[in-house]
């Protein structure tokens, strides 16, 4: 398994009120999965995504990511794990506005100290893979929403992570653009074997997932493989 969660809980305090965002969650994510975490706002799906992504720590339980018990490692020491194992796709794209599409995709490789020639080859390959090579020198404000999401996907994939975490990746896209983005992500999953985990309330994403995990009030209410992968 690439990810294993055992009896994972997460609680917060909002003023004097305690909030239990996740309650005794058990979940395994296999290598190559194309999995959707679904549920209404407040169901715990984004919290679960953040815990898998080492952005936050659980209040209880154990999370093993690529063989490492990340719950036993202080949060500030997980930067290398996030950099080398994970890629992220956000609903608001989170591109750096002053950088071109090329430079946004290049950025994770600079953090990994990848050499210039290899860096250039990989950036150009992924810009081409996602169909955005012609816009390589444009900044995010010169791109459409669909183009910005393609840049974000290239940035997530360029470092060749084992796991891509996508938080509502279609939320700011029209239905046609969202369908093209989902086609692209499914293609990348099939061709590269990269594992994808989505947090979503979009029926289109749920229908494309090979596994659907539904959450309700911080608990898993359904965990099923699609009838047709």
Predicted pLDDT at 154? 97
Predicted pLDDT at 16? 81
- 108 pLDDT exceeds 50? yes
Please, are residues 167 and 159 in contact by the beta-carbon 8 Å criterion?
Answer: no
- 157 pLDDT exceeds 90? yes
Q: Which pLDDT band holds residue 155 (cuts at 50, 70, 90)?
A: very high
Please, are residues 158 and 88 in contact by the beta-carbon 8 Å criterion?
Answer: no
Contacting residues for 16 by C-beta, under 8 A, at least 6 apart: none
Predicted pLDDT at 48? 96
Q: Which pLDDT band holds residue 228 (cuts at 50, 70, 90)?
A: very low
Predicted pLDDT at 226? 63
Contacting residues for 10 by C-beta, under 8 A, at least 6 apart: 20, 21, 22, 44, 47, 51, 56, 58, 59, 218
Predicted pLDDT at 102? 98
The residues that bridge with 37 in the sheet, in sequence order, are 199, 213
Query: Domain locations in the chain?
Result: 32-46+79-225
Q: How far is CA 118 from CA 106, 147, 201, in A?
A: 11, 24, 38
Predicted pLDDT at 123? 98
pLDDT in tens, 173-199: 999 999 999 999 999 999 999 999 999
- 229 pLDDT exceeds 80? no
CA atoms of 128 and 229, how far apart (whole Å): 27
Instruction: Classify strands 211-216 and 219-225 as parallel, antiparallel or unpaired.
Output: antiparallel
E strands, 96-184, are 163-167
Average pLDDT, the chain: 94
Please, are residues 123 and 105 in contact by the beta-carbon 8 Å criterion?
Answer: yes
pLDDT in tens, 47-95: 999 999 999 999 999 999 999 999 999 988 899 889 999 999 998 999 9
Q: What is the mean pLDDT of the segment spanning 117-125?
A: 98
Question: In the CATH hierarchy, which fold is given to the domain comprising 32-46+79-225?
Answer: Rossmann fold (3.40.50)
The model carries a pTM of: 0.93
Contacting residues for 156 by C-beta, under 8 A, at least 6 apart: 87, 88, 89, 164
């Amino acid at each position: 398994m690439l990810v294993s969660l055992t009896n994972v809980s997460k609680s917060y305090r909002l003023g004097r009120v305690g909030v239990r965002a996740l309650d005794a969650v058990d979940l395994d994510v296999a290598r190559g999965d194309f999995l959707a975490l679904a549920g209404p706002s407040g169901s715990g799906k984004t919290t679960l995504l953040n815990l898998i992504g080492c952005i936050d720590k659980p209040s209880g339980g154990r999370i093993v990511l690529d063989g490492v018990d990340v719950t036993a490692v202080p949060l500030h020491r997980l930067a290398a794990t996030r950099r080398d194992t994970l890629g992220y796709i956000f609903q608001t794209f989170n591109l750096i506005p002053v950088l071109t599409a090329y430079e946004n995709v290049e950025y994770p490789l600079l953090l990994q100290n990848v050499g210039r020639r290899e860096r250039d080859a990989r950036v150009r390959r992924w810009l081409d893979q996602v169909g955005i090579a012609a816009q390589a020198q444009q900044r995010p404000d010169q791109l459409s929403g669909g183009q910005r999401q393609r840049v974000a996907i290239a940035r997530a994939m360029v470092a060749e992570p084992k796991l891509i975490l996508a938080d509502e990746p279609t939320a700011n896209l029209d239905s046609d653009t969202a369908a093209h983005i989902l086609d692209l992500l499914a293609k990348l999953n099939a061709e590269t074997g990269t594992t994808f985990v989505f947090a979503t309330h979009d029926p289109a994403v749920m229908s494309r997932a090979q596994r659907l995990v539904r959450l309700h009030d911080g608990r898993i209410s359904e965990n099923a493989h699609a009838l047709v992968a």
